[in-house]
Structure formats: structure tokens, C-alpha cells
Amino acid sequence: MTNKEIAQRFAELADLLEFKDENAFKVRSYRRVARVLEDLSEDVAELAEKGTLEDLPGVGEATAKKIAEYLETGRIRRLEEAREGVPEGIAEVLGIQGVGPKKAAMLFKELGIGSVDELEEAAREHRLRDLPGMGEKTEQNILRGIRIARSGTERMRLDVALDAAAMVIDHLEGKQGLVSRITPAGSLRRRRETIGDVDLLAVGDDPAAIIDEFTSGPYVADVLLAGETKASVVVEGDPHPQVDLRVVDADEFGSALQYFTGSQAHNINLRGLAKKRGMKISEYGLFEGDDRIASAEEEDIYRALDMALIPPELREDQGEIEAALDGSLPDLVEPDDIRGDFHVHSDWSDGRNTIEEIAEAARERGLRFVAITDHSRSLTVANGLTEERVREQIEQIERVNRSLSDLQVLAGSEVDIRSDGSLDLPDDLLAELDVVIAAIHTGFKQPRRQITDRLVAAAEHPHVDIIAHPSGRLIGRRDPYDLDVPELIRACARTGTALEINANPERLDLTDGYCRMARAQGVRLAIGSDAHGVEALRLIDLGVAVARRGWLEKDDVLNTRPEPQLPKRQAGEA
Ligand code: DGT
Ligand code: CA
Ligand code: CA
């Protein structure tokens, strides 16, 4: 963390000095220091302790002193001096695409612009176009930059990013002979739960034609940058997804993909490892001296470092490099392993499709079982089922099952956990169901002790098979409940209750890190699409992505068995 913090301080110092039109040499040198610190694999505090800061490229005595000063006091006096006389809003102005420190200085001097709001107003009133070196076009660019900065602070949901990537890839692959390879990189390839921007990597004989086609596709809302081998566009969507495309040489595809997949923390660790072995790694290849020893395929790079290919979902510097070195990487669960869906709503509660339609769609997806888990009675807003309706539904499902040979429809319920921890349906009815998933839908704000007890009580209930969306968060809309998740995981381990990975892109809950914790304690995970319409059954793949990021193998995930093998029911039946 400190490396990054100090890097940011030096970058800010460079910007401020340039804004004030001070020594250009210092501006360049501070900017270089910022980059070096950003990419450093060692801890800068350790280097300071050893007295070897000055061995870093671009770091002289004065800079080393500033770093030491920050480490000791949390401040850099030179930076504080530089901030004097500069309006606070300038930092934000500098963050607008197309406004560098020089332009910001001119805007400040000529028009007194000290904030993004003032900049926007001036651009709208056409007061920028008459300034030296500016014109109508610059004005428009600045307004666009402001728009992007405001929407760009929001990360997009995984499904939005996947759709944006698919749209661009389809378009480019649709042009005969244009691209020979094209694939997502960055956080999208790692399947993070939210995505800042979509990164794509392509290979083709005519990079200029690829860039042309990419920046003129029907999906384009705005072109941010169009270079010779690199371009950025904003596509239609909410928030407007930014898509970056890079075209690379076929023989550098592997090293570029490795580099641009990240994460940065993973790459820094890998670079440190290469260095220890006298090698250098970059987006252009793995080098030993001047010899390039790997670059065409990602696998070649990892192999040359004595490792198996590390799946992108694991590349977060959470021990995956160490595991790859000692051959203990998990054999991750895959979308093709999935045989069933544990969480689907029908038109009996708030879903849109009939049980028959759901069964048909599940069969088309190649599933062997699908659980109908409508809401229970107290969830009146979702048309929750009364006891009587649940009994009717069980009969209806039996009828549907008699007409099906290759798919099993499970009679289930997403039973509400009431605020005292008791369940919303009687025990004898729950015992009759094939699968019971229990969830909280009210009383999210209960204190930690109470909400934890409530979920633990549900896990301890003899007929509850799965705890649904355990943390309750809605990405970007609602924080998780104040729940002691490790305690719930322990309760599930004790009682043989599974935890859900809810695959709805707004939930992705249980989250990846806790999946790993659950696995370590032998808790099984059950992926549910939580589909309210058959088109959403495909979202189960996002749950698989969370499982993979949580280091889960096929056996850890209950959906991979051809028949639902719920631990508690098996124990009960034995
Ligand atoms: P995002 O877009 O915020 O969801 O996250 P990423 O991981 O896609 O980040 P992004 O788009 O800034 O860059 C894509 C990858 O490129 C990143 O994961 C690692 C690599 N990369 C980009 N910039 C740098 C850098 O300055 N240093 C290093 N070491 N790697 C970088
Ligand atoms: Ca990205
Ligand atoms: Ca990017």
C-alpha cells in the first residue's frame, strides 16, 4: 500500500509543479519516480531501512529524503508547499481527460477556473474556444471528458461488461479476415465482480483496419482515443462502458495477454520472481539478457518460470503464484461441470415463467435438475406462497416430472427467515420438499449479534439445505448486513448446511473470498441463478466465475452432481 501512496504523492507533486510552471526537469523526474514506485515489487519501507532507496532508477539523494520523510511523518513538506496557492478543485480538473497541467494553468490564469463545475460552465458558455491553442473541438472534448469522469467513477456490473465485450468481439469477428485472435483481458478476464473498463486484445495483419473498424462499430457512443495500435471507445450502456482495444503482434500475444490481464499485484509478484531468476518480464516477453525466451502464448511464460498456467480468476496475488510453484493450484470448477440450478422463481410467486417453461429451458441448457424455489407466504410483495399453495405446487411438480425423463424438477422453497430466526413455513411441510433454501428479506438493519444468530439458527434447522445470498448486499445499492460471516460458515460446517453462491450479477453472494474460507472448512456451495425468467438461467455462469475466484473445485460445488446430493437430506435418509 505504501508504495502506491508515495507514488501518488510524487505524481501529484509533478502535476502541481507543472501547473505552476516550475522546473520542467523536476516535473519529469518526479513523474518517473512515481512510475518506478508504482511498479516496484519490493516494499519501499524495507528499502529505506536498508538504505538502498538510491539504487532505484531516478531516485537521488533529495528524493530518497522525501520518501524517508513520508515514511516517518506521513507528510512531504515539499508537496505541501506546492499545494499552496492552488485551488483544491484543480486536482479534479487535472483528472479530466484532455486537460493536462499546462492547460489547467492557462484556464486558471485566463478565466480563473479552479474546479470542474467552473470548467463545465465555461465550456458550455463557449468561453474556452477563443483561448490560445483551443477551439470548438477542444471545448467539446472537455465537455466529453467531464461526462466520462462523472460516469467513469462508477464501476459496471460484470454482466454489463461481458455484454459490451461480446458486442465488440462479435462485430470484429464478423468482418472476414480482420482479426485472427481477440479476447478480453483485465479485470473482465479475471471475472471481478465489478469492472472499471473492458480491456480487449487482438491480433491481425492490418492493425489500422482493426482500429478503424473498432472505433466505427455500431455500438460506439464516443471515441476517446484512436492510435495506431490502441483505441478507447465508450459504448451505449449504463453506466457507459469504456472499452480499450490493443492490437499486438502474433508472437507477443501471450506476453501482452499476461501483462494486460493483471492484476497489477499479481504482475508485480511475478516480476519479482522473474528478477530473482535473472529474468525480466514485460508486455513484450520474458527475457534472459537480450534473449526472448517466451512470448507467443501465456502458458509459455508461466512454464518458463516453472509454473502451470495460472487461471485468470486466481490472479489477485492471494497465494496463487506460490501454489503454482509447488504444484498445488486447485483444479477449478468449470461452467461445463454444472448439472443443475438450485434457485429459480416461477410464476407461482414473482417469476415470469411457468414450471413447464422453466423445465424446458433448463433441459435446453443441458441441465439434469432444476429447483423451483418460490418465495414463502410472508413475502407478500413477491406474491409468496401460502402453505396450501406450496402443497399444490408440490403436486404440480410431480405431474411435470412424470412427463420428463431426462430432467428432474425439484420442489423447493426460498423460505423467509423471520426476524426471530424462525422459518415462514411449518416443519412438516419443509420436510416434504426436495430442497429448502432459507433467506432474509426483511430486518436487514438488525445489530450484528441478532442477525448472525438469526442466520445461524436457520443453518441449524434440520430441514434447511442452503442459506441463500448470505451477505445480502446489492452491488452499488445496498451494503451487506452486519453479519459475522465466519461464524455462519462455522455453523454451516457443523450442521452440513450449504451456502449459496447467488449468480445474479447484482448479488454475486457469497463473495469469492468467503467461498475460499467455506471450502477450507469443508462447507459445500450451491450455485443458484435466482432467475425470475428463463433468459436469466444463463447467469449461472457468473456464479461459476465467483466459485473459481474462490478457489473452488468441482467437488466443492453441489451443482456438479447429476442428482442433487444435499448433505443434510442424505444424512437424514441414511
Ligand atoms: P479495472 O479496469 O479497474 O476493473 O481493473 P483492471 O485490472 O482491468 O485494470 P486496468 O484496466 O487499469 O489495466 C488492465 C491490466 O493492465 C491490469 O490488470 C494490469 C495491467 N496494467 C495496466 N497498467 C499498469 C501499470 O501501470 N502497471 C502494471 N504493473 N500493470 C498495469
Ligand atoms: Ca480494465
Ligand atoms: Ca483499461
39 lines ligand 1 (CB under 6 A): yes
pLDDT at 151: 64
Q: 310 pLDDT exceeds 60?
A: yes
CA–CA–CA angle 425, 427, 428 (5° rounding): 110
Among 260, 263, 284, name the best residue to mutate to test ligand 1's pocket (greatest count of ligand atoms within 8 A of Cβ). Answer: 260
| pLDDT tens-place string over residues 258-287 | 999 999 999 999 999 999 999 999 999 999
Q: 454 pLDDT exceeds 90?
A: yes
Q: Whose CA is nearest to atom 16 of ligand 1?
A: 260
Q: Whose CA is nearest to atom 8 of ligand 1?
A: 186
Nearest-angstrom CA–CA distance, 82 and 85: 8
Q: 523 pLDDT exceeds 60?
A: yes
The residue written with cell numbers 495477454 in the block is 257
Pick the residue with more confidence: 77 or 40? 77
Sign of CA dihedral 169, 264, 336, 348: negative
151 lines ligand 1 (CB under 6 A): no
| pLDDT tens-place string over residues 44-74 | 999 999 999 999 999 999 999 999 999 999 9
- Please name every residue paired with 280 in a beta bridge, in sequence order, or none if there are none: 287
Pick the residue with more confidence: 140 or 387? 387
Range 376-388 average pLDDT: 90
Q: 436 pLDDT exceeds 60?
A: yes
Q: 248 pLDDT exceeds 60?
A: yes
What domains are there in the chain, each with its CATH number? 3-151 (1.10.150.110), 156-247 (3.30.460.10), 252-325 (3.30.210.10), 335-570 (3.20.20.140)
Contacts with 176 (C-beta within 8 Å, 6 or more apart), sequence order: none
187 lines ligand 1 (CB under 6 A): yes
Indicate the pLDDT class of residue 453, thresholds 50, 70 and 90.
Answer: very high
The residue written with cell numbers 441478532 in the block is 450
pLDDT at 211: 98
Name the residue among 336, 256, 262 with its Cα closest to residue 301: 256
260 lines ligand 1 (CB under 6 A): yes
Q: In whole numbers, what is the pLDDT of the chain averaged over residues?
A: 94
pLDDT at 571: 64
Among 148, 264, 266, name the best residue to mutate to test ligand 1's pocket (greatest count of ligand atoms within 8 A of Cβ). Answer: 264
pLDDT at 223: 87
Which atom number of ligand 1 is nearest to the Cα of residue 195? 4
C-alpha distances (whole Å) from 487 to each of 304, 451, 453, 496 are 42, 11, 9, 14
Q: 7 pLDDT exceeds 50?
A: yes
Q: 149 pLDDT exceeds 80?
A: no
Q: Whose CA is nearest to atom 3 of ligand 1?
A: 196
Q: Whose CA is nearest to atom 5 of ligand 1?
A: 187
- Residues within 5 Å of ion ligand 2, judged at the Cβ atom: 186-187, 197, 199
* φ, ψ for residue 487, nearest 5 deg: -65, -40
Q: 141 pLDDT exceeds 90?
A: no
- What is the CA 156 to chain-centroid distance, rounded? 9
Range 6-23 average pLDDT: 93
Q: 115 pLDDT exceeds 50?
A: yes
Cα 546 to ligand 2 centroid, rounded to whole Å: 18
Contacts with 46 (C-beta within 8 Å, 6 or more apart), sequence order: none
Name the residue among 439, 419, 426 with its Cα closest to residue 349: 439
Torsion (CA) 362, 365, 367, 372 in degrees, nearest 10: -20
Q: Which ligand has its closest atom nearest to the C-alpha of 187? A: 1
Q: 520 pLDDT exceeds 60?
A: yes
Q: 208 pLDDT exceeds 60?
A: yes
194 lines ligand 1 (CB under 6 A): no
Among 31, 155, 187, 190, name the best residue to mutate to test ligand 1's pocket (greatest count of ligand atoms within 8 A of Cβ). Answer: 187
Range 303-324 average pLDDT: 98
Q: Whose CA is nearest to atom 20 of ligand 1?
A: 260
Pick the residue with more confidence: 194 or 145? 194
Q: Percent of the chain scored above 70 by pLDDT?
A: 98
Q: 573 pLDDT exceeds 90?
A: no
Grid cell at residue 570: 442424505
Indicate the pLDDT class of residue 153, thresholds 50, 70 and 90.
Answer: low
pLDDT at 1: 61
pLDDT at 574: 40
Is the pTM higher than 0.75? The answer reads yes
Nearest-angstrom CA–CA distance, 59 and 37: 10
Range 427-454 average pLDDT: 95
pLDDT at 88: 87
Nearest-angstrom CA–CA distance, 90 and 108: 9
272 lines ligand 1 (CB under 6 A): no
Q: 440 pLDDT exceeds 70?
A: yes
Q: 28 pLDDT exceeds 50?
A: yes
Indicate the pLDDT class of residue 138, thresholds 50, 70 and 90.
Answer: confident
262 lines ligand 1 (CB under 6 A): yes
Length reported for the chain: 574
Range 295-318 average pLDDT: 98
